[in-house]
Structures are given as structure tokens and as C-alpha cells.
């Protein structure tokens, strides 16, 4: 753990002997959503793949970070904490321009990486690489709480995008949206697909599943935050309609969110936050992954399921690119009746399900966190050199 320097402390440390000093806005490591998985997986891939670099991870507050334990044991990773909570620190940064993240890590780095849009202050001249997963805060602001909308305004996303030397997006559709809506120079926006692989299961998947009281191929699953744009209520309604027509499989939600209270129904299981081994087993043994989102920037759970040979039912959104088509069933966005039919078809049509499963691995071939880490680190080094 590093010592936090005062905001006015100066001095630029020289780059590492063989690599780059990268400061990371790692506040997401204290959470449990998709950006947490993205940040942790990508950081671990880069820290392992580039041991000569120095990774300075800033996380405010005193809370535990159980999901980052492996990451923080790596010799080139330093975890930098501050006793004040993130809302106070980053709220002040948004309003007053301080504290600056590059000073909070105790040394001025070669480059700063922000894995998501959020309130952030940096010293002048410090290069920033920003990941933008989607534009949901602009496209569907009604999906967010009043506090979340205020937080997005404080983040000043467009100014942050303009400030960044380079911008990373997970899919071509998100890149086109950014260039068109924000007017960012296309040369600064780079597509880096996220990895679909995960840590190897520590034990027998079926034993893990038995611990959750679930039977292999006896359930459909949804993974991710239980928030409006993920359409969990739509899925629950479609599932109930399919169940009334004889659907035997259970419906399992792996994730947390404010819509959880409205999902209780016969056959529905709410698992809340699950660990890596549990998620791996759930993906591998599910009848199908269901992702009827109203908006997506990438759709990582669908790709993670395919990487384990499990087909997916997804909304017909650009984020689920054409390369996934042989392994997924597409339904019109927001179409409850079509989703009901798809749930029934996946359970009843064994031949269709087998064809989808056979195409699953090929649809996500090459999507690894190692590959994503290699490309992301190239962009970080490019920004630092510029």
C-alpha cells in the first residue's frame, strides 16, 4: 500500500526501468458490477503481461476489496488508499478540481487510465486514457436515479472525452456512436474487445452448482446489474408467461440492483453477488444465458457464456455483433412475446440448442483478457509517449 501524497506535492517520477508508470482510477474494485470485472480482469492481465510497468491503483475509503486480492499480490502493483470516501473525494474533484488523482497516488505518473466515466481531476499535462463502455447516461437517463444523474453531470463525460489523449470502447457500435454524437476525432477512439475467458474453476463445476441447489441444464440464467436497461422485469414477465405454457427450467439471476424486489415469482431464483467459481459454473451448466437488454455497449455476460459452450438469447442490438449470430437467438428489443417464444424454443428444441452450442466457442474465438490487456497497454504506452 502506498502513502498518499498531499495534493500540492510535486515532482514527476522517472518511468520504470523497463516500462511505464500507470496510475489507475481503480474505484470500481470496491464494487461488484460489470465495470468491476472489467477493471480487475484487465489490470491483472496487464500487470502479469508487463512486469516492468508500475501499476498505481487508487481506491478511496477503507472498505475491503475481496475481488482484488490476487491482483494486489502482484509485485508491480501498488494499492493506494485514502481514508475519505469516494463520494467526498471525487465530488470535490468535480467541483473544485482537487484532489487530483495523479497526486493521490503519491507520484506523477506517465499516464492515467480511467476504466469508466466518473468525476475525476488531473494535473495539467498528465495524459489520460479513458474507457467508455456505453452512452446509456445520455441515451436512457430515465433509467438512472436522481443521484446517479447528478453524478454523471458532475463527471462531465464529454469534457472528459475531450481531455483524453485516447479513448477505448469495447465495440465498433460504441465507437461510431461516440464519433457521431460527441464529435471526437476518429483517430483517438480505439476498439478493444473485452475478454470472454475467466479464471479456471477451482473445483468441480457440478459440485459448485449443487451447493447452489441447481441442476445442470435445469435453469436459464441472467447475469449483471438488476437495473432498467438490462430489462430484468421484462425477462421475469416473459419467463412467467413461458412457465404458464409448460417451461420447466428455473430462471436464475446472478447480480444485484434496485429492481431485485420486483423479480420474485414462482421458479425465479435471486442469487445476488456470486464469486468467480460460482459464475463460471452457472455459465457452463445453464440451458442458456438470457440478455434481453434495452441498451448495451458490449454485452460481456453473453460472450462469457458462449466461451463456455452455452448458447445465449439476446436483444437484437448492434453491441451483439454479427459474429455472434451462429450461437445466439436474437429477439426484437423490448418484445416480451418474442422473448417468451425464445425461452420455450431453447428448452424444447434440442437440435437447435445443440447447433447454437456447437457454434459458441467459434463466435468468441480470440476474446481473451490477455489480448485485451496487450492492446490496452499499447494504447497506454502510446498516450504516455505522446
Q: What is the pLDDT of residues 283-293, one digit of tens each?
A: 999 999 999 99
Is 32 within a domain? yes
Average pLDDT, the chain: 91
Looking up residue 301, the CATH number of its domain turns out to be 3.40.50.2000
Asked whether residue 9 is assigned to any structural domain, the reply reads no
Residue 260, pLDDT above cutoff 70? yes
How far apart CA 124 and CA 351 sit, in angstroms, is 59
CA–CA gap between residue 144 and residue 136 (Å, rounded): 9
Q: How far apart are CA 192 and CA 257, in angstroms?
A: 27
List Cβ neighbours of 385 (8 Å cut-off, separation of 6 or more): none
Tell me: do 254 and 132 sit in the same domain: no
b/e map 301-324, b = 16+ CB within 10 Å: bbbbbbbbebbbbbbebebbbeeb
Yes or no: say if 39 and 113 are a contact pair by the CB < 8 Å rule: no
Cα radius of gyration (the chain): 21
Range of the domain at 260: 205-363
pLDDT digits (tens, 9 = 90+) for 125-159: 999 999 999 999 999 999 999 999 998 999 999 99
**Domain membership flag for residue 5:** no
In a domain, 322, yes or no: yes
d(CA 339, CA 227): 18
pLDDT per residue as tens digits for the range 153-181: 999 999 999 999 999 999 999 999 999 99
CA distance 22 to 373: 13
Asked whether residue 291 is domain-assigned, the answer is yes
Residues 175, 232: one domain? no
Q: Tell me what pLDDT residue 7 has.
A: 39
* Selection from 238, 259, 236, 226 nearest residue 338 by Cα: 238
**342 plus 237 within the same structural domain:** yes
Least confident stretch, 33-42, 46-55, 181-190, 347-356: 33-42
Who contacts 167 (Cβ-Cβ below 8 Å, separation ≥6)?
129, 130, 131, 132, 161, 178, 184, 188, 189, 190
Do residue 213 and residue 345 come from a single domain? yes
217 closest CA partner among 208, 201, 206: 206
Amino acid at each position: 500500500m502506498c502513502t498518499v501524497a498531499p495534493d500540492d506535492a510535486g515532482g514527476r517520477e522517472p518511468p520504470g526501468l523497463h516500462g511505464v508508470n500507470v496510475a489507475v482510477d481503480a474505484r470500481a474494485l470496491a464494487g461488484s458490477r460489470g465495470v468491476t470485472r472489467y477493471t480487475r480482469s484487465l489490470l491483472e492481465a496487464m500487470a502479469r503481461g508487463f512486469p516492468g510497468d508500475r501499476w498505481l491503483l487508487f481506491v478511496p475509503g477503507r472498505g475491503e476489496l475481496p475481488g482484488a486480492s490476487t491482483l494486489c499480490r502482484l509485485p508491480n502493483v501498488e494499492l493506494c488508499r485514502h481514508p475519505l470516501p469516494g463520494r467526498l473525494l471525487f465530488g470535490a474533484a468535480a467541483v473544485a478540481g482537487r484532489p487530483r488523482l495523479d497526486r493521490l497516488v503519491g507520484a506523477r505518473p506517465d499516464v492515467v487510465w480511467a476504466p469508466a466515466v466518473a468525476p475525476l481531476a488531473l494535473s495539467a499535462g498528465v495524459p489520460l486514457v479513458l474507457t467508455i463502455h456505453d452512452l446509456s447516461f445520455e441515451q436512457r437517463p430515465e433509467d438512472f436515479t436522481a443521484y446517479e444523474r447528478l453524478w454523471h453531470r458532475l463527471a462531465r463525460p464529454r469534457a472528459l472525452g475531450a481531455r483524453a489523449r485516447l479513448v477505448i470502447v469495447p465495440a465498433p457500435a460504441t465507437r461510431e456512436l461516440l464519433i457521431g454524437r460527441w464529435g471526437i476525432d476518429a483517430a483517438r477512439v480505439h476498439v478493444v474487445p473485452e475478454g470472454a475467458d475467466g479464471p479456471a474453476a477451482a473445483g468441480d463445476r457440478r459440485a459448485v452448482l449443487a451447493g447452489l441447489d441447481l441442476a445442470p441444464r435445469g435453469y436459464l440464467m441472467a447475469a449483471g446489474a438488476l437495473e432498467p436497461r438490462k430489462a430484468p422485469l421484462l425477462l421475469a414477465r416473459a419467463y412467467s408467461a413461458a412457465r404458464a405454457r409448460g417451461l420447466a427450467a428455473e430462471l436464475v439471476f446472478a447480480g444485484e440492483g434496485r429492481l431485485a424486489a420486483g423479480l420474485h415469482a414462482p421458479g425465479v431464483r435471486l442469487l445476488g453477488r456470486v464469486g468467480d467459481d460460482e459464475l463460471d459454473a452457472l455459465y457452463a451448466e445453464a440451458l442458456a444465458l438470457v440478455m434481453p437488454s434495452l441498451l448495451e455497449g458490449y454485452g460481456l455476460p453473453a460472450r462469457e457464456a458462449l466461451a463456455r459452450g452455452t448458447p445465449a438469447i439476446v436483444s437484437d442490438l448492434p453491441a451483439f455483433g454479427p459474429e455472434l449470430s451462429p450461437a445466439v437467438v436474437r429477439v426484437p428489443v423490448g418484445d416480451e412475446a418474442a422473448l417468451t417464444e425464445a425461452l420455450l424454443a431453447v428448452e424444447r428444441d434440442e437440435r437447435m440448442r445443440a447447433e447454437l452450442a456447437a457454434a459458441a466457442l467459434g463466435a468468441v474465438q480470440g476474446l481473451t483478457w490477455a489480448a485485451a490487456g496487450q492492446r490496452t497497454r499499447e494504447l497506454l504506452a502510446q498516450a504516455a509517449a505522446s
